[in-house]
């Protein structure tokens, strides 16, 4: 795997445009299958997971084009209803194609998805919900063979946990059907709101996205549309943490403050000055960062689990003790061993991590194990004195456009 090389410390300052949201474009690309038309999607990030989604769409028979930050998908012709394992294993969100493929073709054959190793990544909530819609799903030697028994029937579904992916799969599968489906305890992430905005533009009738109760009135008439992807809130927090860790002053452009409202108090408690404007956010870093009493990850609108590693990297050099509680994933602390190699002082106890800040981190050879862990190692490497090499650059490139860190990251084979 390719390596990232950093010669620290490197101050992160200036201005940066926030890329389109990875976790919005991925389900929306899957949703283009439902349109049976040409869809134009703007503000798309140039990241590996988007290219994997385009590979899946091309394999299924769609025509796709990616020019600049615009993707055009023509899904009028679908020639297959199965996705090969090599494509499914490349990312977690390949499972989102299940809902749209079933809705469009009535059948789907795919394997379990890949994605970051954050502990077990089960899909039991997806499967139990889709079965309630009248979809049969058989696991035959690791292949999920799915088909609509008679027709998809709208129904009331209660999710035991507000799973983002399960919420998205239910929305996609029930968009084309007779009857109304309600999802109770639905995930409330902004990326789900963006997905439903896109679906409603192509003809779906979905209400309540962003709340814990979503209502989908099935319909059969879809058309083409144009859509602009929301900014990536996790990329925004990543850049803010990079600026804070390196004593930088950074202006983020094309970001909406409400997308990261749960993270702003954390930055302020650590001593940063945050100025918010209509479409921009400015972060002014202190000479010395201070610890944060507790960072507890929660489903949206709580503090996002995807930012946990990123803020931990920032606070690795803060004065004092910070406590992290990871409540979403079973094993999302793999980055801590690597941060310790840079001089961070971290103790783990179950889903709790205790960080004693160390103002002077020093460069080291590191290994990334997942997307946001890779981002965390970059942040700490930028703050550390000396050379840091991070193996596993492709994890980072799955979700980040390299242009967000111009001239300070070198990627080599």
Give me the residues that bind ligand EPZ (CB under 6 A), please. 22-23, 26, 92-93, 116, 121-126, 161, 163-166, 187, 305-306, 328-329, 371-372, 399
Task: Name which of 45 and 271 has its Cβ closer to ligand EPZ.
Answer: 45
Chain center to CA of 159: 20
The answer to whether 164 touches 92, Cβ cutoff 8 Å, is no
- Pairing label, strands 280-284, 321-325: unpaired
Least CB distance from residue 306 to ligand EPZ, whole Å? 4
Task: Name which of 185 and 219 has its Cβ closer to ligand EPZ.
Answer: 185
Task: Name which of 159 and 252 has its Cβ closer to ligand EPZ.
Answer: 159
Number of other CB atoms surrounding residue 356 within 10 Å: 16
Task: Name which of 310 and 315 has its Cβ closer to ligand EPZ.
Answer: 310
Closest chain position to ligand EPZ (CB):
165
The answer to whether 353 touches 312, Cβ cutoff 8 Å, is yes
Bridge partners of 226, per DSSP, are 40
Least CB distance from residue 61 to ligand EPZ, whole Å? 23
Least CB distance from residue 407 to ligand EPZ, whole Å? 25
Least CB distance from residue 329 to ligand EPZ, whole Å? 5
What are the φ/ψ torsions at residue 241 (nearest 5 degrees)? Answer: -65, -35
Task: Name which of 5 and 298 has its Cβ closer to ligand EPZ.
Answer: 298
Distance CA 329, CA 313 (A): 18
Sign (positive or negative) of CA dihedral 105, 125, 374, 382:
positive
As to burial, measured by CB atoms within 10 angstroms (0-12 exposed, 13-18 middle, 19+ buried), residue 106 is middle
For 407, residues 6+ apart whose C-beta sits below 8 A from its C-beta are none
Least CB distance from residue 371 to ligand EPZ, whole Å? 5
Cα dihedral: 175, 195, 396, 314 (round 10): -130
For 360-365, the CB contacts below 8 A with 24+ separation are 360/317, 360/385, 361/316, 361/317, 361/385, 362/386, 363/6, 363/7, 363/8, 363/387, 363/388, 364/388, 365/341, 365/389, 365/391
Task: Name which of 355 and 371 has its Cβ closer to ligand EPZ.
Answer: 371
What is each CA distance from 354 to 299, 315, 325, 370, in whole angstroms? 21, 11, 9, 21
Task: Name which of 1 and 273 has its Cβ closer to ligand EPZ.
Answer: 1
Residues belonging to the active site: 116
Task: Name which of 188 and 317 has its Cβ closer to ligand EPZ.
Answer: 188
Least CB distance from residue 220 to ligand EPZ, whole Å? 27
The answer to whether 214 touches 171, Cβ cutoff 8 Å, is yes
The answer to whether 113 touches 93, Cβ cutoff 8 Å, is yes
What are the φ/ψ torsions at residue 215 (nearest 5 degrees)? Answer: -115, 125
CA-nearest of 271, 266, 275, 274 to 287 is 271
**Helical segments of 37-92, H only:** 48-60, 85-88
Least CB distance from residue 7 to ligand EPZ, whole Å? 27
Least CB distance from residue 275 to ligand EPZ, whole Å? 27
């Amino acid at each position: 795997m390719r390596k990232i090389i950093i010669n620290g410390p490197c101050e992160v300052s200036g201005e940066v445009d926030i890329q389109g949201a990875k976790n919005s474009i991925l389900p929306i690309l899957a949703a283009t299958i439902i349109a049976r038309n040409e869809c134009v999607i703007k503000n798309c990030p140039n990241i590996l997971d988007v290219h994997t989604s385009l590979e899946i769409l091309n394999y299924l028979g769609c025509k796709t084009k990616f020019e600049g930050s615009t993707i055009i998908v023509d899904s009028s012709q679908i020639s297959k209803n199965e996705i090969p394992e090599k494509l499914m294993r490349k990312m977690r969100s390949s499972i989102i194609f299940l809902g749209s493929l079933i809705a469009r073709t009535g059948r789907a054959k795919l394997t379990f998805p890949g994605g970051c190793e954050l502990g077990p990544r089960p899909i039991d909530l997806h499967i139990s919900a889709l079965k309630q819609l009248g979809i049969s799903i058989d696991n035959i030697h690791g292949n999920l063979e799915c088909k609509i028994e008679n027709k998809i029937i709208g129904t009331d579904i209660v999710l035991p946990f507000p799973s983002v992916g399960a919420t998205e799969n239910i929305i996609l599968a029930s968009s084309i059907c007779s009857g109304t489906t309600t999802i109770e305890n639905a995930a409330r992430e902004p990326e789900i709101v963006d997905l439903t905005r896109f679906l409603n533009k192509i003809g779906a009738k979905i209400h309540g996205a962003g709340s814990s109760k979503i209502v989908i009135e099935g319909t059969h008439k879809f058309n083409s549309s144009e859509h602009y992807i929301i900014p990536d809130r996790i990329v925004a927090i990543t850049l803010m943490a990079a600026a804070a860790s390196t004593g930088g002053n950074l202006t983020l452009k094309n970001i909406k403050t409400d997308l990261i409202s749960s993270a702003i108090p954390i930055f302020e408690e650590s001593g940063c000055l945050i100025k918010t404007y209509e479409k921009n956010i400015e972060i002014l870093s202190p000479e010395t960062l201070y610890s944060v009493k507790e960072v507890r990850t929660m489903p949206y609108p709580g503090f996002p689990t995807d930012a946990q590693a990123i803020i931990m990297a920032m606070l690795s050099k803060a004065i004092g003790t910070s406590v992290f509680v990871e409540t979403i994933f079973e094993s999302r602390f793999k980055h801590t061993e690597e941060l310790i190699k840079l001089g961070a002082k971290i103790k783990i106890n179950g889903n709790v991590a205790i960080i004693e800040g160390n103002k002077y981190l020093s460069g080291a050879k590191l290994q990334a194990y997942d997307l946001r862990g890779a981002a965390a190692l970059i942040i700490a490497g930028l703050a550390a004195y000396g050379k840091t090499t991070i193996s596993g650059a492709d994890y980072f490139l799955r979700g980040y456009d390299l242009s967000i860190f111009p001239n300070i990251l070198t990627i080599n084979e």
